[in-house]
Amino acid sequence: MRQIVLDTETTGIDPAEGHRIIEIGCVELMERQTTGRHYHVYINPEREVEAEAIGVHGITNEFLADKPKFADVAAEFFEFIKGTELVIHNAAFDIGFMDAEFARLKPVRKTADHCGVVDSLAIARKKHPGQKNNLDALCKRYGVDNSSRDLHGALLDAEILAEVYLLLTGGQTALSLDAGNDGAGGEGGIRRLAADRKPLNVVRASNEEVSAHDEFMELLAKQAGETVWGKLAQKE
């Protein structure tokens, strides 16, 4: 399954008031593993960025002046996300802005008509009710490094969210045994122990411990009937 973890930055908080997207960041997942592919673009919103928004993401009007307009990147962006499952933290916010941007173009597109949408905030609230579930709080809860996140940024936040989402929904993010490794134990592969290493210390049960175990198993057999341990003992 192909998933796209997505985040946006905007000129303000409400697209109904004419606010626009100024940054899009996407990270691709395939079968719950990052692929290294991403989509990232800054966009000239054709309007002023509010001072409060600049305080959140640090993206200034001067920086955006020579960036492409949404109409210039819309086709490429749509092709990257089309047919995928989008993973977004507080999805209603980003989808609202995306649909407002697509509505200005021909043909008019609605994101949910072409993509599945998963709201990681809704998942976090269900899993951790009554707790803070913003991205910083989830990073702290799941041990995800967000030390480089002084300001919000669409691509950085998408990368962080990808790691948080995998931990939030499945625990382990990836397991790579590097089947193609040449046996040398390279980085990311299987680490092989030296043949001349010190042998492990084997601790065996004492006679008293064995007797206590046998007595317990006899009691268990009387109470519960035949046990797995009893079947194994009969085969020996």
In whole angstroms, give the CA distance from residue 168 to residue 133. Answer: 11
Catalytic residue among 57, 89, 114, 152: 152
Is 152 among the catalytic positions?
Answer: yes
Q: Residue holding tokens 């122990």?
A: 193
DSSP state of 163: H
Query: In 3D, which of 129, 164, 171 has the Cα closest to residue 149?
Result: 164
Q: What sign has the CA pseudo-torsion 31, 33, 39, 42?
A: positive
Spell out the residues 6+ positions from residue 218 whose beta carbon is closer than 8 angstroms to its own: none
CA 75, 76, 77, 79 torsion: positive or negative? positive
Burial class, 113, CB count within 10 angstroms (exposed 0-12 / middle 13-18 / buried 19+): exposed
> Mind telling me the catalytic residues?
152
